[in-house]
């Protein structure tokens, strides 16, 4: 089996890697939001922020995948010419933006949890 039989295999693997990295960031934010008790105003805010982040991260993945990989999906020759280093870098870039947002939102969620614990 030659790689020319499946010209888009590396490209699809890179897109899926970017998706899994982004979903890991979403999972981390959702887990941090569950640490805040749901019956308080901070809990409702935490869950809204987690849902907003989920939608934003998936929208970011869709936009970045379309703009980053889109031109290579139109032609098999272009997909074969794309180097593996470029594919790995693109997947890591997309995931790094999602993780940066996740880390910033986790700080806000930690503040909400501390405020809730302080109020009792």
Domains held by the chain: number = 1
What is the predicted pLDDT for the residue at 5?
A: 62
pLDDT in the model for residue 4: 57
- pTM beyond 0.85, yes or no: yes
**pLDDT tens sequence for the chain (120 residues):** 455 567 688 888 999 999 999 999 999 999 999 998 888 888 899 999 999 999 999 999 999 999 988 877 777 777 777 788 888 999 999 999 999 999 999 999 999 999 888 886
CA distances from 61 to 23, 53, 75 (A): 10, 12, 22
Q: Which domain holds residue 20?
A: 3-119
Q: What share of the chain is helix, strand, coil (3-state, %, to 5)?
A: 85, 0, 15
Residue 37: phi and psi, rounded to 5, are: -60, 135
In the numeric block, which tokens belong to residue 59? 């929208």
What is the three-class DSSP state of 89? Answer: helix
């Amino acid at each position: 089996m030659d790689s020319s039989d499946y010209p888009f295999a590396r490209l699809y693997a890179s897109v899926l890697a970017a998706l899994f990295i982004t979903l890991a960031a979403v999972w981390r934010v959702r887990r941090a939001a569950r640490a805040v008790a749901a019956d308080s105003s901070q809990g409702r805010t935490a869950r809204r922020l987690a849902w907003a982040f989920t939608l934003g991260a998936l929208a970011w993945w869709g936009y970045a995948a379309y703009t980053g990989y889109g031109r290579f999906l139109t032609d098999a020759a272009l997909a074969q010419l794309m180097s593996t280093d470029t594919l790995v870098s693109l997947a890591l870039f997309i995931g790094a933006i999602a993780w940066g947002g996740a880390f910033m939102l986790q700080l806000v969620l930690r503040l909400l949890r501390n405020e809730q614990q302080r109020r009792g």
